[in-house]
């Protein structure tokens, strides 16, 4: 395993052991676990992400990859297989459908991330790509 995989495994285990609370890196109850299937491999994966709760039935996630020049693998997986499951601190396991936001909808959603966190603002400054935002809507 690489460092990111080890860290994610630790966060996932802590999330599940503490009903959605993760003290590692100060996440608290701010994470969701996104289950997805590899677009090419077909391998099932789980990725912890920081969402913005947009409504009772919608969570937004940003494919920031900490400002890397390319999108994270989970982004491609979610587009290839958009009906997935998430684990949330407050709603438990939820079946969702993934939609990529575009244009003004994407820009409005992205502002919610940059308003929430200096980290997201710094990710935007590190890359020339437009960071995608996905809506995960309860099915």
Full set of structural domains in the chain with CATH: 31-138 (2.30.110.10)
Angstrom distances, CA of residue 1 to CA of 4, 6, 7, 9, 89:
8, 6, 10, 10, 26
Read off the tokens for 136.
């995960």
Confidence at residue 40, expressed as pLDDT on a 0 to 100 scale: 94
Cβ-based neighbour number of residue 23 at 10 Å: 9
Confidence at residue 4, expressed as pLDDT on a 0 to 100 scale: 78
* Overall pTM surpassing 0.75 (yes/no): yes
Q: What is the mean pLDDT of each run of 10 residues along the chain (139 residues)?
A: 83 97 95 97 97 97 97 97 98 98 98 95 96 98
**Beta strands of the chain (E only): which ranges?**
32-37, 44-49, 52-55, 58-62, 83-88, 92-100, 133-138
For the chain, what percentages of helix, strand and coil (3-state, to nearest 5) are there? 35, 30, 30
């Amino acid at each position: 395993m690489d460092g990111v995989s080890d860290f994610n495994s630790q966060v996932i285990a802590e999330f599940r052991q503490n009903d959605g609370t993760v003290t590692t890196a100060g996440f608290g109850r701010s994470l969701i676990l996104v289950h997805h299937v590899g677009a090419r491999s077909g391998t099932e994966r789980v990725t912890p992400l920081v969402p913005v709760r947009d409504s009772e039935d919608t969570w937004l996630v940003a494919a920031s990859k900490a400002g890397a020049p390319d999108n994270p693998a989970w982004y491609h997986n979610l587009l290839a297989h958009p009906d997935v499951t998430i684990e949330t601190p407050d709603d438990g396991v939820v079946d969702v459908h993934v939609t990529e936001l575009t244009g003004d909808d994407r820009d409005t959603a992205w502002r919610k991330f940059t308003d929430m966190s200096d980290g997201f603002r710094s990710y935007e400054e590190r890359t020339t790509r437009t960071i995608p935002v996905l809506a995960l809507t309860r099915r």
